[in-house]
Amino acid sequence: MSYKKELESFSIESLHDTDVDEWLYLADSDITTVAYVLGIDPHYLAVQVRLHLPFYDPKEIEKRGSLSIIREILHRISGSLDDIANVQKMHSNLNGAFSFTEETIVENVGSQIRVGSKSEGWLDAHWDRIPAHFGESIQCDLHYIHSARTDTILHAGLVLSDYVAPFCYASFSNLDREYLDNALTHAASFLDFGEHYNVAVMTRAYGYMPAPKNAMSKLFDLSGKVLQHEGYDMVITALNPFLGFRGSVFTGSSFKPFATSPMKYRYDNEGNYVTRRKTGTGGYNQRMKTPPIVWYMKPLTRQLRRKLEMKHMSVYNISDEEYLRG
């Protein structure tokens, strides 16, 4: 599949791999069964399968069949996912997520936040800073990447009254990639940042299932206000369409796409995914062509938001060379 795109006419749907979508569709029964046995959400497991597919050469997938490959992935990763259900259950006892249903929503009543529905009743909630050790547990044990960011400047979450842990979570770090700084300058030059501006990167986001409607967008909004108060001008974050993400939670939270960048998958000797920041010697590079990831931006100041609303912003294509320079 080709992932060439026109910078002026960007569509997240154009970056989805229809072949991979078909493979996951054919393996839906297997994924659902394994998820049930493990006690985890089938969508979460499907993301894990997608994350490990680039370990395989397309010719091998064609020869052996996609279902055989996916079953091999499920067998290999199931052991590492054994504890997720136990961690989720422990966290749910601390955050009250066990009481959520498909009807649960998050809404404002004046300046207050409440969670629930007409049939369930309502519980008060609030935004809070999350202790680093608990945030790192979410990043390592529950988030699909299973790796903590040691440079996190803010662990944030929405917390139900009478509970001590968040039912949805996000973490933020300082921008430390030159290619993203350059992409911001190219894509949004009309914003006229000036010589000094501060950008926070939302590096992880996680919601306990079933996630209340509007929970993540409310968390993003309130976290942005805190970051603005602390001197940040903008939040950026990434979305990986290869993993099946559609981006609606970002567009619904006033994020705008400003760049695409290469996504290089790396695996250890057993075929398990390894993040770029933890890649060492040995292991294997991806064998499958994959689409780029999409970067979104959200200005935090009223002045920058107005400028963005009034102008058309092109999506900047970060090259392999820029990406590899860091």
Other C-beta atoms closer than 10 Å to the C-beta of 171 total 27
Q: Would you state the pLDDT for residue 208?
A: 92
* Direct distance between the N- and C-terminal alpha carbons of the chain, in angstroms, rounded to an integer: 27
Mean pLDDT of 105-126: 93
Q: What is the pLDDT of residues 47-97, one digit of tens each?
A: 999 999 999 999 999 999 999 999 999 999 998 888 898 899 999 999 999
Task: Say what the pLDDT of residue 194 is.
Answer: 61
Q: Provide the number of structural domains found in the chain.
A: 1
Q: Would you say residue 114 lies in a domain?
A: yes
Mean pLDDT of 294-307: 87
Residue 4 covered by a domain: no
Q: What's the pLDDT at 2?
A: 40
Read off the pLDDT of each residue in 286-309 and give the average, rounded to a whole number: 89
| pLDDT for res 318 | 93
Residue 167: count other Cβ atoms within 10 Å of its Cβ.
28
Statement: residue 5 has pLDDT above 60: no
207-250 pLDDT per residue, tens? 998 889 999 999 999 999 999 999 999 999 999 999 999 888 89
What confidence tier does 3 reach under pLDDT thresholds 50, 70, 90? Answer: very low
Is the pLDDT confidence value at 10 over 80? Answer: no
Residue 20 lies in a domain: no
Identity of the amino acid at 203 = T
Mean pLDDT lowest among 57-66, 118-127, 279-288: 279-288
- Any domain includes 260: yes
Give how far the C-alpha of residue 138 lies from the chain's centroid of Cα atoms, to the nearest Å: 13
> Please, what is the average pLDDT of the chain?
89
Q: Is residue 171 part of a domain?
A: yes
Between 45 and 309, residue with greater pLDDT: 45
Q: Is 16 domain-assigned? A: no
Residue 313 near residue 258, CB atoms below 8 Å: yes
Q: What is the pLDDT of residue 283?
A: 80
Backbone phi, psi, residue 19, to 5°: -65, -45
**Mean pLDDT across the stretch 284-293?**
93
Task: Tell me the residue length of the chain.
Answer: 326
- Provide the CATH number for the domain around residue 245: 3.40.630.30
* pTM: predicted TM-score of the whole model, two decimal places: 0.90
> Which residues on neighbouring strands pair with residue 316, listed in sequence order?
259
Question: Which one is predicted more confidently, 10 or 12?
Answer: 12
Question: Where residue 265 falls among pLDDT bands split at 50, 70, 90?
Answer: very high
277 compared with 71, residue with greater pLDDT:
71
Give the model's pLDDT for residue 280: 58
Its domain, for residue 162, covers 85-325
pLDDT in tens, 143-165: 999 999 999 999 999 999 999 99
Whether 130 is covered by a domain: the verdict is yes
Q: Is residue 33 part of a domain?
A: no
The mean pLDDT of 253-258, rounded to a whole number, is: 89
In contact, 284 and 266? CB cutoff 8 Å: yes
